[in-house]
């Protein structure tokens, strides 16, 4: 049986900006870089600004990472970003900050900050990036970070926004759940590797927009970082039809686009796949157990 999907609340068109960064090893330097680019985005007319994943530090060495991390209440960068949102009177979405959650684990946490400097929503990255690439690159995010356990959606003046981070992009059920909860926009702040970005970044972002009839805002890290990690860049804004309407390159900078929330309603009316999905079981013809697919079907 088809279940209800949350109504989409739409507002007037607005300007969204993505800040592309090249985060380094020291939070103070990264804060200065981000602040300069956020001010540039505001000067260009942005109403909503998104920064990339780990906007405050990119450090693979565990000892050095934890020496420079602070808990949320003590984090200098977060305090500065809240003050900046208040000063600029803008919705400032910090894609994520690395924060100390315990003596042994960090949190990869996104913050949506309102024009009054208040925190509207927090989201901890659910899916940990633990992979071994065939070019020798190896990443174990779970060695340092604790995964989140809840999807997050929040209200903006122009509609509802769903929060995700980087590797979440490869798990479409999360995006479908956010869309079914009424998200017109879904964010993907990221630090995609150059290799995986070249292969999958554009395809996955367009797919998530098409599957869910929503805008995708994906602010990225780009270039070769101080820790020698190379990220793909190419911050993207994708519209609900799957068209790329703004794209960055590899260098730090600002990408902007005019966003029309009414287009979400139009596209979802044209292809109402959110209304047509059904729960279904996966049966094994050899007599194995049946599995219930807990998220309704996609397009």
Residues carrying an active site annotation:
53, 125, 166
Q: Rounded CA gap, 158 and 261, in Å?
A: 7
- Classified as helix, coil or strand, 19 is strand
Token pair of 85 as six digits: 């949102």
The residue count of the chain comes to 299
Q: Which tokens belong to 158?
A: 């122009």
Query: What is the Cα–Cα distance from 106 to 234, expressed in whole angstroms?
Result: 27
Contact indicator for 206, 241 with CB cutoff of 8 Å: no
CA distance 267 to 275: 13
Show the CA angle centred on residue 266, arms to residues 263 and 270, nearest 5°.
140
Give 111's strand partners. Answer: 94, 122
Pair 59, 68: CB distance under 8 Å: yes
Tokens read off for 89: 């009177």
Contact 144, 106 (CB under 8 A): yes
Query: Of 56, 55, 122, 50, which Cα lies nearest the Cα of 90?
Result: 50
């Amino acid at each position: 049986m088809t279940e209800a999907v949350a109504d989409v609340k739409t507002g007037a068109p607005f300007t969204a900006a993505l800040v592309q960064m090249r985060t380094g090893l020291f939070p103070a330097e990264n804060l200065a870089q981000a602040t300069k680019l956020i001010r540039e985005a505001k000067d260009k007319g942005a109403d909503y600004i998104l920064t990339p994943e780990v906007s405050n530090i990119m450090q693979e060495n565990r000892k050095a990472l934890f020496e420079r991390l602070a808990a949320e209440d003590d984090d200098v960068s977060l305090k500065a970003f809240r003050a900046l949102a208040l000063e600029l009177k803008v919705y400032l979405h910090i894609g994520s900050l690395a924060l100390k959650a315990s003596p042994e684990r960090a949190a990869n946490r996104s913050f949506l900050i309102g024009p009054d400097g208040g925190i509207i929503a927090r989201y901890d990255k659910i899916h940990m990036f633990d992979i071994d690439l065939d070019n020798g690159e190896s990443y174990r995010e779970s060695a340092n970070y604790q995964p989140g356990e809840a999807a997050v959606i929040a209200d903006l003046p122009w509609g509802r926004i769903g929060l995700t981070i980087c590797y979440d992009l490869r798990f479409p059920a999360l995006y479908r759940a956010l869309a079914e909860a009424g998200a017109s926009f879904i964010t993907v702040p990221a630090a995609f590797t150059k290799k995986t970005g070249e292969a999958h970044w554009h395809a996955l972002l367009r797919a998530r927009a098409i599957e869910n009839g929503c805008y995708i805002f994906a602010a990225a890290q780009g270039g070769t970082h101080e820790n020698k990690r190379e990220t793909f860049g190419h911050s993207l804004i994708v519209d609900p039809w799957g068209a790329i309407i703004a794209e960055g390159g590899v260098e730090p900078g600002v990408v902007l686009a005019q966003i029309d929330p009414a287009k979400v309603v139009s596209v979802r009316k044209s292809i109402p796949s959110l209304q047509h999905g059904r729960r279904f079981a996966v049966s094994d013809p050899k007599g194995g157990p049946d599995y219930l697919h807990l998220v309704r079907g996609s397009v």
